[in-house]
Amino acid sequence: MGRLAIQMLAISRRHAVPKIQSAWFAQAPEFERWDRGGGNVHRLARVDPSVVVEIGGVVHAGATIGESSHVGSGCIVGPDVCIGSSVVLRYNVVLQNCSIGDFCTLHSGVCVGQDGFGFTYDSNNSIVKKPQELRVKIGNSVEIGANSSIDRGSWRDTVIGDNTKLDNLVQIGHNVVIGCNCMICGQVGIAGSCTLGDNVVLGGQAGVADHIEIASKVRIAAKSGVTSNITEPGDYAGFPAVPVKQWRESVVASRRLCDKHPK
């Protein structure tokens, strides 16, 4: 084989659809290769021509993606998912049963719209699953850190308000409603059916028990545990979380007690 033929073969291989993707196309003719990026887009999806769907990304039937958005490799946009304009999905983001506003960024590994942890015991003491059939609604200018997950609702939609920021490894349970301009730091867990106001800050590894309500302009210190409603703005810390001044006084008192009665 001549040098020119070898060069042409190398160029054709660089631009060819991978074999595994070609086989997938043959089995799923309702999907088309997207010109901007080489991903797979269902014929019944509504995707703006300016959108980039990178190779390995899949957009399912009924999905809608607004202009100037970007779907990274390995992303799955499930059926009937609605994505606004100028949204960036990094690698391996999975979206189902949800809507995303404009100017949002979802980092690698984010999962939105999967079933919440809804189980109970029946009369035979067997575990049965409760229906998880509602959606997740994410507002505008929301950023969600890598490997975070947001569960779909069961009795009300899960909601993330405008301009709220989630760090990496955050878990948002089903039916949770989070207001606008909140900051949720890494490894925070919010159990099902909680309601957070606007401008709430949760420090790293803080936890919120189920069905808790937290007022606007509340800040929870790292590693705190919220087990009852917080109705007044301010700073809280400890387990169970109390006003930060009270927590500091209790820490000092316990240390003094230990100093008086050493082991």
Task: Say if residues 172 and 154 touch (Cβ distance below 8 Å).
Answer: no
Q: Contacts for 238-247 with beta carbons within 8 Å, 24 or more apart?
A: 247/221
Pairing outcome for strands 40-42 and 31-33 = antiparallel
Instruction: Tally Cβ neighbours within 10 Å of residue 242.
Output: 17
Nearest one of 213, 212, 215, 186 to 200, comparing CA atoms: 215
End-to-end CA distance of the chain: 85
- Residue 218 half-sphere exposure, CB side, CA atoms within 13 Å? 24
Catalytic residue among 15, 60, 174, 211: 174
Identify the helix (H) or strand (E) that includes residue 14. Answer: helix 3-15
DSSP class of 97: S
- Residue 35 half-sphere exposure, CB side, CA atoms within 13 Å? 4
Identify the helix (H) or strand (E) that includes residue 23. Answer: helix 19-27
Task: Say if residues 132 and 113 touch (Cβ distance below 8 Å).
Answer: no
In the residue annotation, 174 being an active-site residue is answered as yes
Positions annotated as catalytic residues are: 174
